[in-house]
Structure 1
Amino acid sequence: MAWVKWRWIQLIGCMILLVQSEENYIYNATVTVQVGDNIMLACSTSATYQEKDLRVFWQREQSQGRSSSDVVLTFKQGIITEMNQKDSFRGRVEVFPNELTRGNFSLLLKSVRPADVGQYETIIVPEKNSNRPRCRTQLNVGAPFSKPRVTVEVCTESTWPSEIRCETWGGFPEPLIHWIVGTQAIDSDQVKTNSSTTNGSISVTSILHLWSQEEIPVTCIVENPILRTNESSTQTIHHCEDPAVNLYGLLVLVPILLIQPILVYLFCFSKKKSACRSTQEQAEESTTAPPGGQGSQDNANVTIHLLE
């Protein structure tokens, strides 16, 4: 029974600590910024502080891909120091020393990069005050993608079906690619998409294979999930026969091509035989008819005899 009570006391204590920890966050927000812009990570309180007693730490929290927190900037006893500061933040972060004792701990991050994505935390540590207020900001970074370039490789006898490529570049983070054929959305499992990253910017190529029995518009849409922007391009796909249809045509055409010479031969043979028969009949007629000269002489003799 005593053990159960002790477990309940521990649970209640943890809940109190959790509530106190959350209450210590005087600012908790999510902000989105485009690559190259400046962003103010806000943090302020109504309290005032003595400069010699004040310590403030700005850091980026540990996340996937990072084994520890990154030091962004440190203020200690009136001095801003870059000790242990992550190299990528050097010369790109700024605070306002005259505002710190007034409770303004905001941090200016300049020329934002894709690698700056993460959760930033400001920890205020007054020497003579047990209360340590904190500010937390989730920084999301995005860069717009180029207008997609859609190209079509028209199908031929050796390339079935048509291959449609959608290419875009220069953006961040990796986009969502949507295809629409006519008015019908294409499932992502019917599309092959590859991406590569250079200096933080992403290039994407998406390939769709399509059989089309008629002219039909095909649209590629590039969606940036952070900036919530879309870019699109449309191309019209022309008629492309299904290989099954072409195969059926070949099955019909091949027998015709094979039979045609035989039919031509039979036709010619028949014509030749008919011509030979006609020639033979003419020859027979010429041999049975009386000679033209003898017949004329007999007729002449008969005529003379009658006159006499």
Structure 2
Amino acid sequence: MASIGQIIFYSMVSLIVLFATFIILIVALAFSKPALELMSSNTNPVANLGEDQLLSCYLPREAQTDGLRDVTVAWMKEELRVYLYENGAPALGAQGSQFRGRTQLFPDALSAGNGSLLLRSVRSSDEGQYTCSISSSAGQRKVKIQLRTAAFSAPTFTFSKGILTAEASRWFPEPSVTWLDRSENVLNASTRFTTNSAGILSITSILRSANVSESYSCRVENNLVTAVAEATVTGAGVSGRTYFTFNVASSPLVSIYVNIISSVLCIYYVTPT
């Protein structure tokens, strides 16, 4: 049976070994080269149907300093090949037919670890999960991007005889339309939707009893996109601007609006009646 002195001795030896292992681990982490990671400026983008969409995929800045050799970039949509770049050139023989002639990388940026993909003329069938993979002399990593599709456009305004009209030519899925005054009070308005052969909605929303020199906002919103169009009625017409935001569900319980992408400043003139 071990004596108390032996127990203390072996306990101290064990603690010293553990402490030494901990110090070695800290030193190794401090001097090790940072792991190669892929990033995306937006892993849940909403693409406007019929327009081009950039799917971003790149290395962080600190990993771009030395340049990369033997870069291969592969884009996949589930099991479907979207784009492949290897041996210094595109290799598109196995590319999915729906992506032919509609995809592009930026060769000048590849050596810095930027494998972002430009997808032209987005279709509803493009919606889904994409995987970007970059392989190089520094290793291989992947990032996943969930692309969603919608149709959205900024409302335009006209004003005549106390009636303020907002028209938006392209929306999908069907949105709700809400008018507010400058105090954020909800106003009564009438809204009409018209659907074209492609299933895209056009919107005409009418606010009656609008006043000159007053400001109003027209909020067009579905589960993907929100457009807040601010309009001020002047003697010469209606001046306004529209802000777009995209809805991103960060968890099943929380949804937040992020990525304000554009502010469109427009002046609309009254047509004499």
TM-score, length basis structure 1: 0.40
Report the structure, 1 or 2, having the larger helix content.
1
Q: In terms of Rg, which structure is larger?
A: 1
